[in-house]
Each structure stands twice: as C-alpha cells, then as structure tokens.
Amino acid sequence: MHEMSITQGIIDLCLQHAGGRRVNSLEVEIGELSTVVPEAIEFCFEACSRDTLLEGAQLVIVRTAGRGECQECTSETPLTELFGSCIHCGSSRVAIIAGEEMRVREIEVED
C-alpha cells in the first residue's frame, strides 16, 4: 500500500530528528493536488507508530492549496485538480507550482 510506505517514511524522518526523544506531535503538509489521501495517512500512522517513540503523538495534517502558472497568459491560477485549467484564459497548459508536495513541516519532541 502506497500510503503505508509514505507513512513509514514520515515516521523514520521524525525518529531521525527526534534523537531518541519522544515525539509529542508532528505536522505534515499534504498538497491538495497530491495523490496522497490524508485519511489513509492517519490510519497508517496509528499502526506504524505503535511501539516507537511516535506512539500516541498527535498527527496534524495541513492541506496546502494547489497553484499553477498558465503557460498561455502567464498568470497564476488556483488549481483544484491536477489537470485544471487557467481561470483567466481557460487554457489547460498550466504548470503546477504548488500543491503536489508532501512533507513533514514540524515536529515537537519531549524536553
């Protein structure tokens, strides 16, 4: 399962940064254009964090909006889907500039 390995990656990254301390919470950013399903990440996190320093940590998922740059009129346009079109001129030649990312933004460890 796709989300399972992503979640495992998030956990590994947090463990590296936590330096042996317990992780209280973590904030993960998932772009709206990403194919990653936040609910699935939450579900996998429960299972994957068990018996690690992340067990019981609060997982906060932040969605970031999709944005693109139109190759036709060069305007910036909001994107709600991967192959959206420009709201200004209707062109479908839009390069995605934000919204596909998936990253750990912040972790909070115990003192």
One-letter amino acid of 14? C
Nearer to Zn ion, 9 or 90 (CB): 90
**Total residues binding Zn ion (CB under 5 A):** 7
Residue 70 interacts with Zn ion (CB under 5 A): yes or no? yes
| Span of 10-18, 20-28, 65-73, 98-106 interacting with Zn ion by CB under 5 A | 65-73
Q: Which parts of 3-22 interact with Zn ion (CB under 5 A)?
A: none
Among 29, 38, 91, 96, binds Zn ion (CB under 5 A): 91
For the packed helices 2-18 and 38-49, what is the interaxial angle rounded to 10 degrees? 60
User: For residue 30, what are the contacts with CB-CB under 8 A and spacing of at least 6?
Assistant: 36, 38, 41, 61, 62, 63, 64, 101, 102
Q: Judge contact between 75 and 86, C-beta under 8 A.
A: yes
Residues lying near Zn ion in the complex (CB under 5 A):
70, 72-73, 86, 88-89, 91
